[in-house]
Structure 1
């Protein structure tokens, strides 16, 4: 019996402040890459909650999602490992909160960067995913959908600590 195909669900934050976007520089098997603050959705959390958690873990900023930017599907074939994964990314924008400079960043995150849209475009060769730029371009084009567009059934929260 063949294993069913299952995309890996991730959440990402598109955060703009004073015309610059928050990105993280992270260690990957393909070297140092740039990404939106993003990561895998954990069991027992809504996509918006997962996004807020990932922003805090990767950048030490509090973040509150206020709108859905979009839902994206992309395939990644890593040349260094041969790993072939399809990602389903749920991207949010929202309100940036306070920064805690004493909070350690997630393992593998080297630093945070604030880049202009032009700088993000110019660094495309270093993006961890083609979705990094696509999400920013959609945000700049005004893509905003209500958070209610994503429904989380209460069964997801069962057993949540």
Structure 2
């Protein structure tokens, strides 16, 4: 039976910048950039998973304001991902301090700078563009 990997991503914005993490792709070994993101764990909701991943990968404790979208991706590594992307915002660009040892660093980037980075997946930019286009669905859309 086929089962997609359920993942979550945190789209964090502040003063027209987006928070991305620098990491090494486990399949290619290449350095790349991603939203704070990861897999859904047992006994947590997808929004709780997004907040947990944000904390583990940046040290920031924030709550999502809304769902940006649900994305279906058959990745080049052969894995099928179902990604839930959530919007987070903060009043100031807090300095990130990653806790997860897989994260090399975390930084704030403008949209133009992000377009020049090696991204983990095409969903990184797609989720940001959807957020900027006003895609915003209430958290209550997901029965949790």
Partner residue, 1:32: 31
Give the deviation of 1:63 after TM superposition.
1.5
Q: Identify the residue that residue 113 of structure 2 maps to in structure 1.
A: 119
Match of 1:147 in 2: 139
> Which residue number in structure 2 is paired with residue 22 of structure 1?
19
Q: Which runs of 4+ in 1 moved over 3 A?
A: 95-101
Would the alpha carbon gap of residues 33 and 104 (structure 1) be closer, same or farther in structure 2, given more than 3 Å must change? closer
| 1:62 match | 61
SS of 2:64's equivalent in the other structure is strand
Q: CA deviation at 1:75?
A: 1.4
For residues 48-127 of structure 1, what are the structure 2 equivalents within 5 Å? 48-78=47-77, 84-96=78-90, 104-123=98-117, 126-127=118-119
Superposed displacement of residue 122, structure 1: 1.9
Counterpart CA distance in 2 for 1:23 and 1:104 is 11
> How many equivalent pairs are there?
141
- Measure how far apart 1:148 and its partner are: 0.5
Cα distance in structure 2, aligned partners of 1:34 and 1:104: 14
C-alpha separation in 1, matches of 2:58 and 2:89 = 14
Structure 1 gaps of 5+ residues are 79-83, 153-161
Unaligned runs of 5+ in 2: none
Secondary structure of the residue aligned to 1:14 is strand
State the Cα RMSD in Å. Answer: 1.8
1:105 to 1:97, Cα distance in 2 relative to 1, 3 A: farther
Matches of 1:137 and 1:113 in 2, distance apart?
18
The 2-side partners of 1:121 and 1:106 are apart by 25
Give the TM-score normalised by structure 1.
0.82
Q: Radius of gyration: which is bigger? A: 1
